[in-house]
Amino acid sequence: MKRLVAGVLLALALVACQTQPPDQAATGPVLTGPLTVASQGSFFLGGQDVRSDTLSNSARYEPSGTITNDQVYVHYQTPVDAKPASIALIHGCCLTGKTWETTPDGRMGWDEYFVRSGYPTYVVDQASRGRSAATPTAINAAKVGKSPPDQLPTLFAIGRENAWVNFRFGERYGEVFPGMQFPVEAQAEFWKQMVPDWLESLPTPNPTVPALSELSKRLNNTVLVSHSQSGIYPFQTVSLDPAGVAAIVSIEPGRCPAPTEDVRPYVKLPVLVLFGDYIERSPRWSPRLQGCREFVDATNKAGGRAEVVLLPDVGFHGNSHMLMQDRNSLEVAGWLRQWIEKHVE
Amino acid sequence: MKRLVAGVLLALALVACQTQPPDQAATGPVLTGPLTVASQGSFFLGGQDVRSDTLSNSARYEPSGTITNDQVYVHYQTPVDAKPASIALIHGCCLTGKTWETTPDGRMGWDEYFVRSGYPTYVVDQASRGRSAATPTAINAAKVGKSPPDQLPTLFAIGRENAWVNFRFGERYGEVFPGMQFPVEAQAEFWKQMVPDWLESLPTPNPTVPALSELSKRLNNTVLVSHSQSGIYPFQTVSLDPAGVAAIVSIEPGRCPAPTEDVRPYVKLPVLVLFGDYIERSPRWSPRLQGCREFVDATNKAGGRAEVVLLPDVGFHGNSHMLMQDRNSLEVAGWLRQWIEKHVE
């Protein structure tokens, strides 16, 4: 009888174990069922007033007046029983905060994942993109002949043929790396996420950087998670003022700070530079990885605790540049969550 | 003793009644405490591929390739125990879906109000605004000399000096109508919501209209709630295809359909045209109200059940054009919720 009871208990225990992978069962968030938040909403950071006589080139609207530009839109959700650290998610080139929402193939985005993990989560639209207004005055001035066309803003949209290669879906447009995890069957939905990029028409640092500093101070204890073209922003934010920044997570940055720069601002906080797969096969990304390795070495020599992690080295294979949308995006998020839990108070 | 018990019961009943206003207690949503949703996320509607050789005027980005434009971004939340009808919120001129989120003075937006009221709620960014990409090719073509500057898109931003009057904060910039409900102390946050408007560069109907039709069909039983410049969109959507549209709520429309148009598409569903206060003091808005009255009369003569409601006539005073952000915005939302409950299955 004792043996029977022990057998039943063992069987029950095994069934219990099989319902969730051990890691999730131990510490992971519940990813299905209703989501409860303590609060949600949106607001703007930064912004400055601009007076112009070329607000409009339409006969129906007054050309003179005052608008605000350089503001940064933020959407947030805070969980019930929130952890003490917050997370800010900052998208990259030619995209908006949509990057972190529902994936192109309809799965949960990192915005919801981190809320379900207990982190107040803030998603921004960079200055002059998405719900953060760009300024049309230079375009209107050219249209009405008040300024020459070469004074028009520098703008670019990225065509899918180039994005395909730059985002490492494959070596050439239409070709897919073996085992690549981006849901290419849903690519049409992904291309719709892309917006014109005003980056090169904006001052340095990008107005998003002081906005991130303002956000970090307001929230206190904030993990700045950047991607690609915004990869450098958390570093620039900390360089401007380290107040309120708990850690830097720079995902596939366009560049890290140069190793010859003053790295002292970065030695006092955890720094993670995270890359996906196929880096060595990409003439665009392999030198960027190398640059980040040099930066991390210089920072650690100065007493820092920075690290470069390649996802294949921690067991994830096939990740594209859009790793927050790849098929294994939530597993990667789970790894990042554990990194944050380990490194941030 | 009986009298004492009765007295205690009466006192308890009175205390219970005082915790919520009678109307809210009877049917209204719980507006405080955590929010639980069954699901949330975002996706795009519509969109078409465009091949161009002026995607970029930056030396760093390839000018040739394919992008998608005319797509419409949608963010949604669905409540647990959702009602059978959904609500789509469509912002107006020079704004984005932010219109319906947290008010400039930090109160709950209509997006959350209607979710708390049990309605799956969908917030769009109109085509070429916010997270719905505009197309930079004409700007780039002019900058690189491939097309003359008069081919630049027609763009406008609205200056606060004009917005103040058009949005009926007061008769002149800086002056406030007596009892006006817009939180002018938070105006700086409101000006940050404004974005350049590409409306006049887009085809007719605006690509947002077929996108709303696609959304209505997908959701089925959808109340289209438009505002100002988008006021006409639900009518154009129904004219295109009535499938899936449960009702039209047009808030302070820039125009209603002309009474001389074919009004037959509008006779089969409930139509509400809603205006705020001070209309008679506004040379911009009083003719628009008059036009909508004529449309409603024509629709009802043809067998419809359309109505124009002025908020002062149902007990709300001091509402500006931005009535979804006015100090009494949630009371107005409550009135609208009851209208929807009464008119939509």
SS (H, E, C) chain A: CHHHHHHHHHHHHHHHHHHCCHHHHHHCCCCCCCEEEEEEEEEEEEEEEEEECCCECCCCCCCCEEEEEEEEEEEEEEECCCCCCEEEEECCCCCCHHHHCCCCCCCCCHHHHHHHCCCCEEEEECCCCCCCCCCCHHHHHHHCCCCCHHHCCCCECCCHHHHHHHCCCCCCCCCCCCCCCCCHHHHHHHHCCCCCECHHHCCCCCCHHHHHHHHHHHHCCEEEEEEHHHCCHHHHHHHHCCCCEEEEEEECCCCCCCCCCCCHHHCCCCEEEEECCCHHHCCCHHHHHHHHHHHHHHHHHCCCCEEEEEHHHHCCCCCCCCCCCCCCHHHHHHHHHHHHHHHCC
Residues of A in contact with B155 (CB under 8 A): 56-58, 136, 139-140, 143
Q: Confirm whether A291 is domain-assigned.
A: yes
Q: Which residue has the higher pLDDT, A108 or A345?
A: A108
Do A34 and B38 count as a contact with CB atoms less than 8 A apart?
Answer: yes
* Partner A, chain B 156-175, Cβ-Cβ below 8 Å: 156-162
- How does pLDDT run across A246-293, given as a tens digit for each residue? 999 999 999 999 999 999 999 999 999 999 999 999 999 999 999 999
Across chain A, what does the average pLDDT equal? 93
pLDDT of residue B321: 98
Residues of A in contact with B60 (CB under 8 A): 156, 200
Q: Confirm whether B55 is domain-assigned.
A: no
Please, what is the angle between helix B233-240 and helix B208-219, to 10°?
A: 70
Residues of B in contact with A159 (CB under 8 A): 52, 55, 62, 64-67
Q: What percent of chain A has pLDDT over 90?
A: 91
Q: What percent of chain A has pLDDT over 70?
A: 92
pLDDT of residue B345: 77
Q: Indicate whether B260 pLDDT > 50.
A: yes
Do B131 and A134 count as a contact with CB atoms less than 8 A apart?
Answer: no
Q: Confirm whether A258 is domain-assigned.
A: yes
pLDDT of residue B197: 95
Report which secondary-structure segment, H or E, holds B273. strand B271-275
Q: Confirm whether A203 is domain-assigned.
A: yes
pLDDT of residue B10: 45
Indicate the pLDDT class of residue A35, thresholds 50, 70 and 90.
Answer: very high
Question: Among B57, B96, B194, whose Cβ lies nearest the Cβ of A155?
Answer: B57
Other CB atoms within 10 Å distance of the CB of residue A342: 8
Residues of A in contact with B134 (CB under 8 A): 195-196
Calpha distance A17→A20 (Å, rounded): 6
Do A194 and B133 count as a contact with CB atoms less than 8 A apart?
Answer: yes
Q: Indicate whether B5 pLDDT > 70.
A: no
Judged by a CB distance cut-off of 8 A, whether residue A48 touches chain B is no
Do B139 and A134 count as a contact with CB atoms less than 8 A apart?
Answer: no
Q: Confirm whether B303 is domain-assigned.
A: yes
Domain around A232: 38-343
Q: Indicate whether A3 pLDDT > 60.
A: no
Do A71 and B192 count as a contact with CB atoms less than 8 A apart?
Answer: yes
pLDDT of residue B91: 98
pLDDT of residue B41: 98
**Distance, in angstroms, between A269 CA and closest chain B CA?**
32
Judged by a CB distance cut-off of 8 A, whether residue A112 touches chain B is yes
Q: What is the mean pLDDT of residues B201-220?
A: 97
Do B36 and A36 count as a contact with CB atoms less than 8 A apart?
Answer: yes
Q: What is the mean pLDDT of residues A222-238?
A: 98
Indicate the pLDDT class of residue B9, thresholds 50, 70 and 90.
Answer: very low
pLDDT of residue A24: 46
pLDDT of residue B95: 98
Beta bridge pairs of residue A48: A69
Q: What is the mean pLDDT of residues B265-277?
A: 98
Residues of A in contact with B201 (CB under 8 A): none
Contacts of B60 (CB under 8 A, 6+ apart): A156, A200
Question: What number of helices (H) and strands (E) belong to chain B?
Answer: 10, 8
Judged by a CB distance cut-off of 8 A, whether residue A78 touches chain B is no
Q: Indicate whether B53 pLDDT > 70.
A: yes
Q: What is the mean pLDDT of residues A12-33?
A: 58
pLDDT of residue A26: 52
Q: What is the mean pLDDT of residues B181-204?
A: 97
Residues of A in contact with B108 (CB under 8 A): 41
Calpha distance B199→A46 (Å, rounded): 27
Judged by a CB distance cut-off of 8 A, whether residue B125 touches chain A is yes
Do A66 and B200 count as a contact with CB atoms less than 8 A apart?
Answer: no
ipTM: 0.92
Judged by a CB distance cut-off of 8 A, whether residue B106 touches chain A is yes
Judged by a CB distance cut-off of 8 A, whether residue A30 touches chain B is no
CATH code, domain with B103: 3.40.50.1820
Q: What percent of chain B has pLDDT over 90?
A: 91
pLDDT of residue A12: 45
* Partner B, chain A 269-288, Cβ-Cβ below 8 Å: none
Q: Indicate whether A149 pLDDT > 70.
A: yes
Q: Confirm whether B142 is domain-assigned.
A: no
Report which secondary-structure segment, H or E, holds B288. helix B285-301
Q: Indicate whether B241 pLDDT > 60.
A: yes
Residues of B in contact with A54 (CB under 8 A): none
Domains in chain A: how many in total? 1
pLDDT of residue A345: 77
Residue type, B242: P
- How does pLDDT run across B285-329, given as a tens digit for each residue? 999 999 999 999 999 999 999 999 999 999 999 999 999 999 999
Q: Confirm whether B3 is domain-assigned.
A: no
Chain B residue with CA closest to A196: the answer is: B136
The sign of the CA dihedral A259, B60, A229, A286 is negative
- How does pLDDT run across B141-154, given as a tens digit for each residue? 999 999 999 999 99
Q: Indicate whether B24 pLDDT > 90.
A: no
Judged by a CB distance cut-off of 8 A, whether residue A133 touches chain B is yes
- How does pLDDT run across A69-93, given as a tens digit for each residue? 999 999 999 999 999 999 999 999 9
Q: Confirm whether A29 is domain-assigned.
A: no
Other CB atoms within 10 Å distance of the CB of residue A343: 18
